[in-house]
Structure 1
Amino acid sequence: MRGLWFEEFEVGAHYKHSMTRTITEMDNVMFTSLTMNIAPIHLDAEYCKGTVHGQRVLNSLFTVALIGAFHVPELTMGTTLGNLGYDSVKFPNPVFHGDTLRAETTIVDKRESKTRDDSGIVWFEHIGLNQRDEVVVKMTRVGLMMRRPADSEGAA
């Protein structure tokens, strides 16, 4: 399985990724602990009873990492040279333990690299949704994608 070469990306193409993932308490505690984010909104159930959400909220960077990975098998496996940045990241709704997330990706733009002849730049819009179809993250990511190697012409 491989991702798409730069030439294969089409602006406006939309992908509904088949992968889904139910968020567990362990996901939140481990990620939050590994990244040393000790905010009680992620870890302290008693504290959170007094917040607007009434319960612990998933660490938002875990949401970015998870939703940002769902596209890999279809779009970038073995064909990416890395992220160049995120133009925007928004969290319209919180994620809680027990939510099941899925993702969709739209190709927003692309252009040839001005400094490299082996790659091009692609703008991806990744949207993460929960089991109620509420958007939990919307982000625009910029990736450096490999051009099709000359020896792979015509190969799928």
Structure 2
Amino acid sequence: MRGLYFEEFEIGAEYTHPFTRTVTEMDNVMFTSLTMNLQPLHLDEEFAKKSVHGARVVNSLFTVALIGAFHVPELTMGTTLGNLGYDKIQFPHPVFHGDTLRAETTILDKRESTSRDDSGIVWFEHRGFNQDDTLVCLLHRVGLMAKKQEEEGAR
């Protein structure tokens, strides 16, 4: 399985990714602890009960990592040369323990690289939804994508 090469991306193309993932308490506690985020909203149930959410909220950077990964098998597996940046990250609704997430991607734009002849730049919009189809995460990402090689076996 491989992702798409630069030439294969079409502006406006939309992808509904087939994967889903239920976010567990362990995911949240481990990620939050590994990244040394001491925010009690993620770790302290008693604190979080008194918040506007009424319960612990999943670390938003975990949500970014998960939603930003659902596309990999279909779109960028082995064909990406790296992320160039994120233009937008939004969280319109919190993620809670037990939420099941899925993602969709739209290709926003693309252009040839001006500094490399082996790659191009692609702008992606990744949208994450929970089990109720509520938008929980919106990402605009810029990726450096490999071009197809002329010679067979060059990759």
Cα-to-partner distance string for 1:19-40 (whole Å, 9 max, x where unaligned)? 0000000000000000000100
> After the TM superposition, which of the residue ranges 143-152 and 109-118 deviates more from structure 2?
143-152
Q: What is the aligned-residue identity percentage?
A: 73
**3-state SS in 1 of match to 2:78:** coil
**2:80 is matched with which residue?**
80
Find the aligned partners of 1:152 and 1:146 in 2 and give their Cα distance: 15
**3-state SS in 1 of match to 2:36:** coil
**3-state SS in 2 of match to 1:75:** helix
Find the aligned partners of 2:55 and 2:95 in 1 and give their Cα distance: 10
- 1:75 is displaced (CA, Å) by 0.2
- Are 2:86 and 1:125 aligned? no
Find the aligned partners of 2:87 and 2:142 in 1 and give their Cα distance: 7
- Are 2:116 and 1:116 aligned? yes
**2:93 is matched with which residue?**
93
**3-state SS in 1 of match to 2:46:** helix
Cα-to-partner distance string for 1:76-98 (whole Å, 9 max, x where unaligned)? 00000000000000000000000
- 1:151 is displaced (CA, Å) by 1.9
Where do 5+ consecutive residues of structure 1 fail to align? none
Where do 5+ consecutive residues of structure 2 fail to align? none
- 1:142 is displaced (CA, Å) by 0.1
- Are 2:47 and 1:38 aligned? no
Find the aligned partners of 2:152 and 2:6 in 1 and give their Cα distance: 13
How many residues matched?
153
**2:8 is matched with which residue?**
8
One-letter identity of the residue aligned with 2:37: N
Find the aligned partners of 2:128 and 2:49 in 1 and give their Cα distance: 26
When normalised by structure 1's length, the TM-score is: 0.97
**1:67 is matched with which residue?**
67
Find the aligned partners of 1:132 and 1:152 in 2 and give their Cα distance: 46
Find the aligned partners of 2:103 and 2:95 in 1 and give their Cα distance: 14
- 1:51 is displaced (CA, Å) by 0.4
Give the superposed CA RMSD. Answer: 0.9
One-letter identity of the residue aligned with 2:131: Q
Segments ≥4 residues shifted beyond 6 Å: none
